[in-house]
Amino acid sequence: MNVIPQLETERLILRGWRESDFEALAAIHGDPDVMRFLGGVQERSDVWRALAGLAGHWVLRGYGKWAVERKSDGAMMGRVGLINPEGWPALELGWTLGKPYWGQGYATEAAEAAMRYGFLTQKVDRLVSCIDSENIPSQNVARRLGETKGGRANLRVAGQDIPVDLWSITRAEWRERNGA
């Protein structure tokens, strides 16, 4: 049973997870540059659990992160979408793409589609993005999405406290930006 809706943008397909996505996800989670602000490189066994968690979030919450696939060649590029694990400050819009896909507008394109989905399907007044204060590329994506930097929060992940800046956009701001 696939509970994950598929979204399409000009260049991307945001789709449900497949077992065949594991190798690409393991490469992404094994790259120190990609994982620098996300708790560090993960071993393959941890990536398997992460993949199961990505799929399972949809079952438990009714939303989650999609696998991002490039239309032109079918490459699984990363994960983008909505999460709200136990203890999170709010419904988060997050993005993580493999390094070969950085700097081409893919994160913004996928996150815009996920943001639209979030505001159209979830009863929330705002979405947040939890971003490390040194992660300038992610901050730039947040700005392009219309998010603004707010306060700080500590995320508890795998027994560690991870300080992040909370970037956010309200439903009203999103509507104004999109003429909705």
pLDDT digits (tens, 9 = 90+) for 88-125: 899 999 999 999 999 999 999 999 999 999 999 999 99
- Expressed in percent and rounded to 5, the helix, strand and coil fractions of the chain are 40, 30, 30
Output the pLDDT for position 1: 43
Number of residues written out for the chain = 180
Q: How far apart are the first and last CA of the chain?
A: 32
pLDDT tens string 56-91 = 999 999 999 999 999 999 999 999 999 998 888 999
Counting Cα atoms < 13 Å in the Cβ hemisphere of 142 gives 25
What Cα–Cα distance (Å) separates residue 28 from each residue in 62, 66, 69, 115, 121? Answer: 25, 15, 14, 23, 29
Average pLDDT, the chain: 93
Q: What is the pTM of this model?
A: 0.94
Q: What is the pLDDT of residues 123-165, one digit of tens each?
A: 999 999 999 999 999 999 999 999 999 999 988 877 778 899 9
Q: Give the pLDDT of residue 3.
A: 79
Q: What is the pLDDT of residue 2?
A: 60
Of 34-38, 46-50, 155-159, least confident by mean pLDDT is 155-159
- Looking at residue 81, its amino acid is G
DSSP string, 95-125: EEE-GGGTTSSHHHHHHHHHHHHHHHHS--S
HSE, side-chain direction, 13 A CA sphere, residue 170? 5
CA dist 163 and 49 (Å) reads: 23
Looking at residue 37, what is its pLDDT? 85
